[in-house]
């Protein structure tokens, strides 16, 4: 068993949905400015950018996981290790089973945010859902600047373990946000990451990057809105 532990950012948006950076810019930035070994591109309701990133990963020293942040009827669900696109608008349970059917990992991002499956007051819903919903991982840490409280709730609800893996992600929509939240896993490769999630040994870490990243977002908001309107069909039911 490997003694090496590595970092993966499992929640990144590109300009294929409402992120501002193009895929090659993201790859170059991660390689030059972070110590991430693996990244997941998780655009809203499309895997187009993720497939593109996967197709050029050989040019860089990082591995890509094909992901999608799917707008289910009652909140966002992220599929990781996907091969096929999953449409928005399905129930959470159906979305999760579509992810599982193709061998992917179902992760609930920002579970207690407004767009989260359980919502800001969803502690009770979470309690019953862990028995009913077959998701594999919970995003215990999301680095978006305004999710401090939602992260605290997620960390507390996760504390019992519950048989699900803990992940962290940045939810970056700008280059500077990438890696501000991440998942620590055993090994170095995407396959190692997957095994580490299956063994429930991953952990979530990060800091939101402080004022500089918050300011990047503040100044980026008009561009993020414009990008969202460019990809309206994908992003209309999405935020974060």
Does 234 engage in binding with Zn ion (CB under 5 A)? Answer: no
- Region binding Zn ion by CB under 5 A among candidate stretches 18-26, 68-76, 81-89, 222-230: 68-76
Tell me how far apart the alpha carbons of residues 17 and 233 are, in angstroms, rounded to a whole number: 9
Question: Are the CB atoms for 208 and 180 separated by under 8 Å?
Answer: yes
Contacts of 55 (CB under 8 A, 6+ apart): none
Q: What single DSSP character describes residue 100?
A: H
Per-position x/- string for 115-154, each x denoting binding to Zn ion as judged by CB under 5 A, each - no binding: x---------------------------------------
- How many residues bind to Zn ion according to rule CB under 5 A? 5
Residue 122, C-beta contacts closer than 8 angstroms, at least 6 positions apart: 111, 112, 116
Taking the complex as a whole, the smallest distance from the CB of residue 71 to Zn ion amounts, in Å, to: 8
**Of residues 12 and 190, the one with the C-beta less far from Zn ion:** 12
CA distance 169 to 145: 12
Our CB check for Zn ion shows the closer of 9 and 171 to be 171
Instruction: Check residue 18 for interaction with Zn ion (CB under 5 A).
Output: no
Least separation in angstroms between residue 153's CB and Zn ion is: 16
Q: Which residues of 43-66 are buried (b: 16+ CB within 10 A; e: fewer)?
A: bbbbbbbbbbbbeebeebebbbbb
To 10 degrees, what angle do helices 123-132 and 148-158 make?
Answer: 50
16, 37, 136, 240: residue in contact with Zn ion (rule CB under 5 A): 240
Binding-residue pattern over the window 72 to 111 for Zn ion, x denoting contact by CB under 5 A: ----x-----------------------------------
Q: Residue 134, CB half-sphere, CA atoms under 13 Å: how many?
A: 12
Residue list 163-222, contact with Zn ion (CB under 5 A): 171
Residues of this chain that interact with Zn ion (CB under 5 A) are 69, 76, 115, 171, 240
């Amino acid at each position: 068993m490997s003694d090496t532990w590595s970092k993966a950012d499992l929640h990144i948006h590109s300009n294929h949905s409402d992120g501002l950076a193009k895929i090659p810019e993201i790859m170059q930035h991660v390689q030059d400015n972070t110590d991430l070994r693996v990244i997941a591109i998780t655009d809203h309701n499309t895997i187009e950018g993720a497939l593109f990133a996967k197709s050029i990963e050989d040019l860089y020293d990082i591995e890509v996981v094909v992901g999608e942040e799917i707008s289910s009827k009652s909140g966002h669900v992220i599929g990781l290790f996907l091969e096929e696109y999953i449409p928005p608008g399905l129930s959470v349970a159906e979305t999760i089973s579509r992810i599982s059917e193709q061998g992917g990992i179902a992760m609930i991002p920002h579970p207690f945010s407004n767009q989260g499956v359980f919502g800001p007051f969803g502690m009770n819903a979470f309690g019953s859902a862990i028995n009913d919903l077959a998701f594999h991982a919970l995003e215990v840490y999301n680095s978006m600047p305004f999710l401090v409280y939602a992260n605290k709730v997620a960390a507390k609800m996760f504390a019992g373990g519950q048989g699900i893996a803990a992940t962290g992600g940045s939810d970056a929509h700008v280059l500077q946000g990438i890696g501000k939240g991440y998942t620590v896993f055993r090994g170095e490769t995407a396959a190692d990451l997957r095994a580490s999630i299956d063994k429930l040994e991953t952990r979530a870490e990060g800091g939101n990057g402080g004022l500089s990243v918050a300011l990047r977002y503040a100044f980026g908001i008009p561009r993020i809105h414009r990008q969202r309107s460019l990809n309206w069909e994908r992003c209309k039911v999405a935020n974060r």
